[in-house]
Amino acid sequence: MSEPGTANRVKTIADLYAFAGRGGKLKKLVVAAAQDEHVLDAVVKAREKGIVEPILVGIKKKILELAGEHHFNLDGVRIIDEEDNIRAAEISVHLVRDGEADILMKGLLDTATYLRPVLDKSNGLRRGEALSSIGLFELTNYHKLFVLTDGGLNIAPDLKMKMAIIKNAVFFMRRLGVEIPKVAVLGAFELVNINMIATTDAALLSMMSQRGQIRNCVIDGPLSFDNAISKKSAEFKGIFNEVAGDADILLAPNIESGNAMYKSFVYFAGASPASMLLGASAPIVLTSRADSEAIKLNSIALAASIDLSDKTG
């Protein structure tokens, strides 16, 4: 993918597929505990679209049964037979760490088991200050792609964790071609209330941005959701700045609000986002079992299109 600030900016979810198909050599995607119908469906479709070359780690007999049952073409696909989910996760992480695979994806195993070898200090993939989850959305009622973070991993982030989450999201958006992302730190309203930690954290993060403690972005907050995504709403409340109504990144105060927004966009607005984990040395796909095939496929395309090799943000 292009360097920040170039003409090859990703403007739609569909652009991810174009970027993922470039470069000739396909990236290798390893799936931990791959014996899952919906994950296999998305992975096979991604292979057919020329996005990735899969490696499947899991119960081989079950994987082949699912392939036969649902007519998934696994001809030529490498399958590593491993019945134990803990070992499947470890093997998958080691394949990425040793350069045999480029992307890690969760199959039929719980998130804690999936992430444990990722976070291993000696042999894991963690690179940044923290792992965080992002959803990349394209909505008909908003004028550009935006990121929502963190609705899937960090439960109640403190100020330090919010800084790390912002840094991950800013780095990510810069890799998509947004040179100076605009970050809206969400709260219930736009005023600072010492009894509401989300608003005090937002004010501190905004000041940190102004003083250069958090670089390569513009941060404003607290902003209620309407002020973050609607310039008209913001101006009605007397908020005039470059973030209000034009946010690239929405930072949720906690996992409950982030998760509720994510699912509201999907179920009420019909969105099919792309999602992944940031803060590791390789793209990590962590979709919910309830996520549609389209979301899983978009997430694979995103992981295949983004370059994490040179952290400039």
Do residues 166 and 96 share a domain? no
Do residues 106 and 142 share a domain? no
Do residues 248 and 299 share a domain? no
Per-residue 3-state assignment (H helix, E strand, C coil) for 219-248: EEEEECHHHHHCHHHHHHCCCCCCCCCCCC
Bridge-based pairing of strands 78-81 and 103-106 is unpaired
- Judge contact between 104 and 44, C-beta under 8 A: no
pLDDT in tens, 221-279: 999 999 999 999 999 999 999 999 999 999 999 999 999 999 999 999 999 999 999 99
Give the H or E element holding residue 159.
Answer: helix 159-175
- Residue 251 pairs in a beta bridge with 149, 185
Do residues 229 and 309 share a domain? no
Q: Position of tokens 């998130």?
A: 111
Is residue 16 classed exposed, middle or buried when 0-12, 13-18 and 19+ CB atoms within 10 A define those classes? buried
Do residues 49 and 171 share a domain? no
Q: Which of 182, 161, 186 is nearest to 173 (CA)?
A: 182
Q: Could you tell me the residue range of the domain that residue 46 belongs to?
A: 1-127+280-313
| DSSP annotation of 102 | S
Do residues 190 and 284 share a domain? no
CATH of the domain at 262: 3.40.718.10
pLDDT in tens, 274-290: 999 999 999 999 998 88
- Judge contact between 148 and 139, C-beta under 8 A: no
CATH of the domain at 107: 3.40.50.10950
Do residues 260 and 166 share a domain? yes
Do residues 105 and 136 share a domain? no
Do residues 173 and 239 share a domain? yes
Do residues 256 and 138 share a domain? yes
* Residue 176 CB contacts under 8 Å (≥ 6 apart), including other chains: 1, 9, 10, 136, 145, 306
Does the pLDDT at position 50 exceed 80? yes
Do residues 139 and 270 share a domain? yes
pLDDT in tens, 66-120: 999 999 999 999 999 999 999 999 999 999 999 999 999 999 999 999 999 999 9
Q: Tell me the CA distances in angstroms from 235 to 94, 198, 205, 259, one per residue in order.
A: 51, 22, 22, 28
The more confidently predicted of residues 284 and 20 is 284
Do residues 268 and 139 share a domain? yes
Q: Which two tokens stand for residue 253?
A: 């105060």
Number of domains composing the chain: 2
